[in-house]
Amino acid sequence: MLRFFSKFKYLAITLFILSAIIITLFYNALKPREILPIYQPSMVKTELVDSTIQYVKKYHTIADFKLINQNGDTITQEDYKDKIYIADFFFTTCPSICPIMTDNMADIQKEIMPYQDVMLLSHSVTPEIDSVPQLKKYAREKGVNDKKWNLVTGDKKQIYELARKSYLAVLDDGDGGPYDMIHTENFILVDKKRRIRGFYDGTNKEDMEKLLHDVKVLKSE
Protein backbone atom coordinates (compact mmCIF):
# COMPACT_ATOMS: atom_id res chain seq x y z
CA MET A 1 0.00 0.00 0.00
CA LEU A 2 2.80 2.40 0.91
CA ARG A 3 4.51 1.66 -2.37
CA PHE A 4 1.29 2.48 -4.20
CA PHE A 5 0.98 5.92 -2.59
CA SER A 6 4.69 6.57 -3.02
CA LYS A 7 4.35 5.80 -6.70
CA PHE A 8 1.66 8.40 -7.27
CA LYS A 9 2.90 11.02 -4.81
CA TYR A 10 4.55 13.23 -7.43
CA LEU A 11 1.56 12.90 -9.75
CA ALA A 12 -0.73 14.04 -6.92
CA ILE A 13 1.50 17.04 -6.16
CA THR A 14 1.60 17.98 -9.85
CA LEU A 15 -2.20 17.75 -10.14
CA PHE A 16 -2.62 19.86 -7.00
CA ILE A 17 -0.35 22.61 -8.38
CA LEU A 18 -2.12 22.57 -11.74
CA SER A 19 -5.51 22.77 -10.02
CA ALA A 20 -4.37 25.77 -7.97
CA ILE A 21 -3.14 27.55 -11.11
CA ILE A 22 -6.38 26.85 -12.99
CA ILE A 23 -8.51 28.08 -10.07
CA THR A 24 -6.43 31.26 -9.82
CA LEU A 25 -6.75 31.94 -13.55
CA PHE A 26 -10.52 31.44 -13.41
CA TYR A 27 -10.79 33.72 -10.38
CA ASN A 28 -8.82 36.50 -12.08
CA ALA A 29 -10.87 36.12 -15.27
CA LEU A 30 -14.18 36.31 -13.42
CA LYS A 31 -13.18 39.01 -10.91
CA PRO A 32 -14.76 42.38 -11.81
CA ARG A 33 -12.20 44.77 -13.25
CA GLU A 34 -11.64 47.87 -11.13
CA ILE A 35 -12.60 51.03 -13.01
CA LEU A 36 -12.28 54.57 -11.64
CA PRO A 37 -15.17 57.03 -12.02
CA ILE A 38 -14.97 59.83 -14.57
CA TYR A 39 -15.80 63.03 -12.69
CA GLN A 40 -18.08 65.65 -14.19
CA PRO A 41 -18.79 69.15 -12.81
CA SER A 42 -22.27 68.06 -11.69
CA MET A 43 -20.65 65.45 -9.40
CA VAL A 44 -18.47 67.96 -7.49
CA LYS A 45 -19.36 70.35 -4.65
CA THR A 46 -20.85 73.46 -6.25
CA GLU A 47 -18.59 75.85 -4.34
CA LEU A 48 -15.57 74.37 -6.17
CA VAL A 49 -17.09 74.72 -9.64
CA ASP A 50 -17.59 77.80 -11.77
CA SER A 51 -21.30 78.60 -12.09
CA THR A 52 -21.14 78.38 -15.89
CA ILE A 53 -20.44 74.64 -15.81
CA GLN A 54 -22.03 73.41 -12.57
CA TYR A 55 -24.64 71.33 -14.37
CA VAL A 56 -22.37 69.71 -16.98
CA LYS A 57 -22.84 65.93 -16.76
CA LYS A 58 -20.54 64.58 -19.48
CA TYR A 59 -17.56 65.20 -21.75
CA HIS A 60 -15.67 67.33 -19.19
CA THR A 61 -11.92 67.54 -19.83
CA ILE A 62 -9.01 69.73 -18.75
CA ALA A 63 -8.70 72.80 -20.99
CA ASP A 64 -5.57 73.75 -22.94
CA PHE A 65 -3.10 75.83 -20.93
CA LYS A 66 0.12 77.77 -21.31
CA LEU A 67 2.11 78.46 -18.15
CA ILE A 68 5.74 78.93 -16.99
CA ASN A 69 7.57 76.46 -14.77
CA GLN A 70 10.36 76.73 -12.19
CA ASN A 71 12.99 76.76 -14.94
CA GLY A 72 11.34 79.51 -16.98
CA ASP A 73 10.16 76.97 -19.58
CA THR A 74 6.73 77.22 -21.20
CA ILE A 75 4.54 74.29 -20.15
CA THR A 76 1.40 73.38 -22.10
CA GLN A 77 -0.98 70.46 -22.39
CA GLU A 78 1.42 69.00 -24.96
CA ASP A 79 3.95 68.33 -22.19
CA TYR A 80 1.31 66.11 -20.58
CA LYS A 81 0.05 64.45 -23.75
CA ASP A 82 -0.56 60.71 -23.24
CA LYS A 83 0.36 61.09 -19.57
CA ILE A 84 -1.44 60.32 -16.36
CA TYR A 85 -0.82 63.21 -13.99
CA ILE A 86 -1.61 64.51 -10.53
CA ALA A 87 -2.41 68.22 -10.20
CA ASP A 88 -2.79 70.54 -7.23
CA PHE A 89 -2.90 74.23 -6.30
CA PHE A 90 -0.57 75.89 -3.78
CA PHE A 91 1.57 78.95 -3.09
CA THR A 92 5.14 79.02 -1.89
CA THR A 93 4.52 81.35 1.09
CA CYS A 94 1.58 79.33 2.43
CA PRO A 95 2.18 78.60 6.14
CA SER A 96 -0.59 76.06 6.70
CA ILE A 97 -1.48 73.08 4.50
CA CYS A 98 0.91 73.71 1.56
CA PRO A 99 4.07 72.36 3.22
CA ILE A 100 2.23 69.12 4.09
CA MET A 101 0.79 68.85 0.59
CA THR A 102 4.16 69.48 -1.02
CA ASP A 103 5.89 66.92 1.19
CA ASN A 104 3.24 64.35 0.27
CA MET A 105 3.61 65.20 -3.41
CA ALA A 106 7.37 64.71 -3.03
CA ASP A 107 6.70 61.25 -1.59
CA ILE A 108 4.46 60.48 -4.57
CA GLN A 109 7.24 61.69 -6.89
CA LYS A 110 9.52 59.00 -5.45
CA GLU A 111 6.90 56.30 -6.03
CA ILE A 112 6.20 57.26 -9.65
CA MET A 113 9.81 57.62 -10.76
CA PRO A 114 9.77 54.24 -12.59
CA TYR A 115 6.65 55.24 -14.53
CA GLN A 116 7.45 57.07 -17.77
CA ASP A 117 3.78 57.99 -18.29
CA VAL A 118 3.03 59.57 -14.89
CA MET A 119 3.82 63.19 -13.97
CA LEU A 120 2.96 65.94 -11.46
CA LEU A 121 1.71 69.51 -11.97
CA SER A 122 1.41 72.15 -9.22
CA HIS A 123 -0.22 75.53 -9.96
CA SER A 124 0.51 78.67 -7.93
CA VAL A 125 -2.61 80.57 -6.83
CA THR A 126 -0.47 83.67 -6.18
CA PRO A 127 1.38 84.00 -9.49
CA GLU A 128 2.16 87.64 -8.79
CA ILE A 129 4.32 86.47 -5.85
CA ASP A 130 5.52 83.13 -7.21
CA SER A 131 7.97 84.28 -9.87
CA VAL A 132 10.25 81.84 -11.68
CA PRO A 133 13.16 82.45 -9.23
CA GLN A 134 10.80 81.95 -6.28
CA LEU A 135 9.47 78.69 -7.75
CA LYS A 136 13.03 77.51 -8.47
CA LYS A 137 14.08 78.17 -4.88
CA TYR A 138 11.02 76.31 -3.59
CA ALA A 139 11.62 73.42 -6.00
CA ARG A 140 15.20 72.99 -4.76
CA GLU A 141 14.06 73.05 -1.14
CA LYS A 142 11.40 70.40 -1.78
CA GLY A 143 13.44 68.06 -3.96
CA VAL A 144 11.47 68.59 -7.14
CA ASN A 145 12.64 66.50 -10.11
CA ASP A 146 12.29 68.71 -13.19
CA LYS A 147 11.52 65.75 -15.45
CA LYS A 148 8.58 64.65 -13.31
CA TRP A 149 7.15 67.69 -11.62
CA ASN A 150 6.37 71.19 -12.90
CA LEU A 151 5.59 74.05 -10.52
CA VAL A 152 3.84 76.61 -12.70
CA THR A 153 3.01 80.29 -12.59
CA GLY A 154 1.51 82.63 -15.17
CA ASP A 155 -1.56 84.68 -15.95
CA LYS A 156 -3.80 84.78 -12.88
CA LYS A 157 -7.02 84.71 -14.89
CA GLN A 158 -5.90 81.56 -16.71
CA ILE A 159 -4.93 79.81 -13.46
CA TYR A 160 -8.24 80.80 -11.87
CA GLU A 161 -10.21 79.46 -14.83
CA LEU A 162 -8.19 76.24 -14.87
CA ALA A 163 -8.83 75.81 -11.15
CA ARG A 164 -12.59 76.35 -11.32
CA LYS A 165 -13.54 75.34 -14.84
CA SER A 166 -11.13 72.46 -15.43
CA TYR A 167 -9.81 70.94 -12.19
CA LEU A 168 -12.86 71.83 -10.05
CA ALA A 169 -10.66 72.21 -7.01
CA VAL A 170 -10.43 75.84 -5.83
CA LEU A 171 -12.78 78.13 -3.93
CA ASP A 172 -13.69 81.59 -5.19
CA ASP A 173 -12.46 84.16 -2.68
CA GLY A 174 -15.50 86.33 -3.36
CA ASP A 175 -13.93 89.14 -1.39
CA GLY A 176 -11.25 90.70 -3.57
CA GLY A 177 -10.60 90.95 -7.27
CA PRO A 178 -12.44 88.96 -9.92
CA TYR A 179 -9.84 86.18 -9.94
CA ASP A 180 -9.01 85.84 -6.26
CA MET A 181 -9.02 82.24 -5.14
CA ILE A 182 -8.54 80.03 -2.09
CA HIS A 183 -6.84 76.75 -2.84
CA THR A 184 -8.00 73.52 -1.20
CA GLU A 185 -6.07 70.44 -0.10
CA ASN A 186 -7.25 68.53 -3.16
CA PHE A 187 -4.95 66.49 -5.38
CA ILE A 188 -6.59 65.75 -8.73
CA LEU A 189 -5.87 62.61 -10.75
CA VAL A 190 -6.09 63.17 -14.52
CA ASP A 191 -6.02 60.38 -17.11
CA LYS A 192 -4.43 60.27 -20.57
CA LYS A 193 -7.63 61.63 -22.10
CA ARG A 194 -7.49 64.70 -19.81
CA ARG A 195 -10.45 63.51 -17.72
CA ILE A 196 -10.63 63.79 -13.92
CA ARG A 197 -10.57 60.33 -12.34
CA GLY A 198 -10.20 61.13 -8.65
CA PHE A 199 -9.93 63.70 -5.86
CA TYR A 200 -7.73 63.13 -2.79
CA ASP A 201 -6.91 64.98 0.42
CA GLY A 202 -3.32 66.04 -0.11
CA THR A 203 -2.74 66.26 3.65
CA ASN A 204 -3.91 62.71 4.37
CA LYS A 205 -1.50 59.75 4.17
CA GLU A 206 -4.29 57.20 3.66
CA ASP A 207 -5.56 59.22 0.70
CA MET A 208 -2.04 59.22 -0.72
CA GLU A 209 -1.99 55.42 -0.59
CA LYS A 210 -5.37 55.38 -2.34
CA LEU A 211 -4.03 57.80 -4.97
CA LEU A 212 -1.03 55.60 -5.73
CA HIS A 213 -3.34 52.59 -5.99
CA ASP A 214 -5.57 54.48 -8.42
CA VAL A 215 -2.58 55.48 -10.54
CA LYS A 216 -1.88 51.76 -11.02
CA VAL A 217 -5.52 51.17 -11.89
CA LEU A 218 -5.31 53.85 -14.60
CA LYS A 219 -2.08 52.40 -15.92
CA SER A 220 -3.81 49.05 -16.39
CA GLU A 221 -6.71 50.53 -18.38
Annotated binding site: 94, 98, 183
pLDDT at residue 8 greater than cutoff 50 = yes
pLDDT in tens, 106-122: 999 999 999 999 999 99
Please report the sign of the dihedral spanned by the C-alpha atoms of residue 185, residue 204, residue 194, residue 50.
negative
pLDDT at residue 28 greater than cutoff 50 = no
pLDDT at residue 152 greater than cutoff 90 = yes
pLDDT at residue 12 greater than cutoff 70 = no
Averaged pLDDT, 72-94: 97
Q: Average pLDDT, whole number, for the chain?
A: 89
Return the axis-axis angle of helices 98-112 and 205-220, rounded to nearest 10°.
40
Averaged pLDDT, 36-46: 97
Cα 14 to its chain centre, rounded Å, is 45
Of the ranges 140-144, 176-180, 199-203, which one carries the lowest mean pLDDT score? 176-180
pLDDT at residue 86 greater than cutoff 80 = yes
pLDDT at residue 29 greater than cutoff 90 = no
Instruction: Collect contacts of 161-164 with beta carbons under 8 A, ≥24 apart.
Output: 161/50, 161/63, 162/62, 162/63, 162/65, 162/123, 163/89, 163/123, 163/125, 164/48, 164/49, 164/50
pLDDT of 143: 97
Q: What percent of the chain has pLDDT over 70?
A: 84
pLDDT at residue 20 greater than cutoff 90 = no
pLDDT of 4: 47
Annotated binding site for Cu cation: 94, 98, 183
